[in-house]
Structure 1
């Protein structure tokens, strides 16, 4: 089946793009992917999205966006895109299970997945004391003990940020030496609220009915197990953009994030646009993702209009 626009992904970026394109009477098709609603569906209360002075639950926010897109005429389809052929027009999308779709334009909003340790207690406590976003969840740990796992610039930056709220922020890293730049290390080491548990390998997140209790680690020097008490655990070991299905057809940066023309959502292939965390490794906020989704929709709308005019004139 052919569509003027297909949006791949249903996080804040994809659903905002769907709302804008639907209101422009383009009737976009949205492919939900393996995590409908994106990362916000794994969070609890969202306090920093404008328009909700009392906060809103992450899943409820995404459900509202979904309903809004449907209200204006967007179509949403379950499934996963496994491959895209961008070598000719219209573009061809291949779906898991063997289906195919064609489109005049594509909006890629597949996001980025936070890297995880793969230890017991980690995944089941995401949103219940384990977090992958300090700026999203730090506020909820005021005057509490927090652990940040990681040794790079992101870990140092998040540790510094979290000291605004926590009574103590303990950095856990599996090696003695940190990967972070010297200036970032110096800033973190100069903060009295930051404690250090280096050369420790995380083994298990321990939690009870009321939430996270702490982190079990192995002391790599002695081989003994230790328990580090904490009310919250923040994973700061990086993200992986969800771009594998594209087969390297679009330019990326050194981290694998899709590159867009500055100030736009345009990728290296005309008619293909990117928005949200799949092209943003700096901000990674629901509001910035939504904003970039609006940009992608407006860019796609212009492309579709110009493309239709070109076809008509031939």
Structure 2
């Protein structure tokens, strides 16, 4: 177990700016996540203040990472599988490698998931057996057959969780892209694995009835969980009872200090809602970094009041 003052989930512009300000505030900072998963990574930016040339998102992120490291932030290129809060007020974060980190404060800056399979039946059967969140909807499929689609940590950890609920779990993936530890857990489990395959269609009328793979194989199932990439921001946030925007239930609700309803948990960037602009993410990250480091300092010294 490794202890930090502030842990930031997400290495996009919001998370990087938060890391810079938290680390400059003398906090021990860890940044989790993979840079290439940021929506900025493949983009180009030409509308950012004081920048008179077009820069690639990758270049911006690499410079931000170097800058945060210069101030002492540590980067751990792993996805998060679980979040908890202990009785002592510290948060524990379980990584896909099995490592556990602790921190006095968290900054959620993971962006929002825009990943879809885009296959026939996916949209029509959403909420009728198709789900994007194992943690949210898994219990609806107790003792039933389910399918999980995805190559990365969200799909693998979701499939493992469903083993405790469903009668049968099928994992559809082209090639696993996870840590050795997580891959071992999947490969040694009773999950029905379908390597090198993709979902071609989801079939059903009133609900999901079967999944058709790209090789023509059909799997009769009641539920399909589409878990592409890392665990979703909202999926992790709900583990800590972080409140969502009541109108859309798609974004985390934060005040002007980027505080959520949970003490010690802050949010910044796309996860807080539109507009999807780097300038907004950076500004919110700045505030979140300063506030989170201040909160951690107060908790360490026993001065938890404002």
Q: TM-score, structure 2 length as denominator? A: 0.57
* Mapped partners of 2:267, 2:288: distance in 1: 7
Larger radius of gyration: 1
Q: Which residue of 1 aligns with 2:175?
A: none
* Mapped partners of 2:5, 2:261: distance in 1: 19
Q: Secondary structure of 1:42's match?
A: coil
Report Cα offsets for 1:194-215 as digits up to 9, x if no partner.
xxxxxxxxxxxxxxxxxxxxxx
Q: Which residue of 2 aligns with 1:105?
A: 105
* Mapped partners of 1:87, 1:27: distance in 2: 19
Q: Which residue of 1 aligns with 2:294?
A: 302
**Is 1:90 the equivalent of 2:90?**
yes
**Is 1:287 the equivalent of 2:242?**
no
Q: Which runs of 5+ in 1 are unaligned?
A: 120-239
Q: How much has 1:87 moved relative to structure 2?
A: 5.1
Q: How does 1:123-272 map to 2 (within 5 A)?
A: 242-248=233-239, 249-253=241-245, 254-272=247-265
Report Cα offsets for 1:163-219 as digits up to 9, x if no partner.
xxxxxxxxxxxxxxxxxxxxxxxxxxxxxxxxxxxxxxxxxxxxxxxxxxxxxxxxx
Q: How much has 1:54 moved relative to structure 2?
A: 1.4
* Mapped partners of 1:59, 1:273: distance in 2: 25
Q: Which residue of 1 aligns with 2:29?
A: 28
Q: How does 1:44-63 map to 2 (within 5 A)?
A: 45-63=44-62
Report Cα offsets for 1:267-297 as digits up to 9, x if no partner.
11111111111112x2110110000000101
Report Cα offsets for 1:241-276 as digits up to 9, x if no partner.
632123442111243344444322111111111111
* Mapped partners of 1:115, 1:98: distance in 2: 25
* Mapped partners of 1:59, 1:268: distance in 2: 33
* Mapped partners of 1:312, 1:272: distance in 2: 14
Determine if contact 1:12/1:37 at 8 Å carries over to the other structure. no
Q: How much has 1:90 moved relative to structure 2?
A: 1.2
Q: Which residue of 2 aligns with 1:64?
A: 63
Determine if contact 1:250/1:258 at 8 Å carries over to the other structure. no
Determine if contact 1:42/1:58 at 8 Å carries over to the other structure. yes
Number of aligned residue pairs: give it.
Answer: 191
Report Cα offsets for 1:134-177 as digits up to 9, x if no partner.
xxxxxxxxxxxxxxxxxxxxxxxxxxxxxxxxxxxxxxxxxxxx
* Mapped partners of 1:41, 1:15: distance in 2: 13
Determine if contact 1:241/1:257 at 8 Å carries over to the other structure. no
Determine if contact 2:254/2:266 at 8 Å carries over to the other structure. no
Q: Which runs of 5+ in 2 are unaligned?
A: 120-230
Q: How much has 1:115 moved relative to structure 2?
A: 4.7
User: 1:302–1:312: structure 2 CA closer, same or farther, 3 Å change rule?
Assistant: closer
* Mapped partners of 1:49, 1:29: distance in 2: 26
* Mapped partners of 2:86, 2:242: distance in 1: 11
Q: Which residue of 2 aligns with 1:151?
A: none
User: 1:115–1:79: structure 2 CA closer, same or farther, 3 Å change rule?
Assistant: closer
Q: Which residue of 1 aligns with 2:73?
A: 74
Q: TM-score, structure 1 length as denominator? A: 0.56
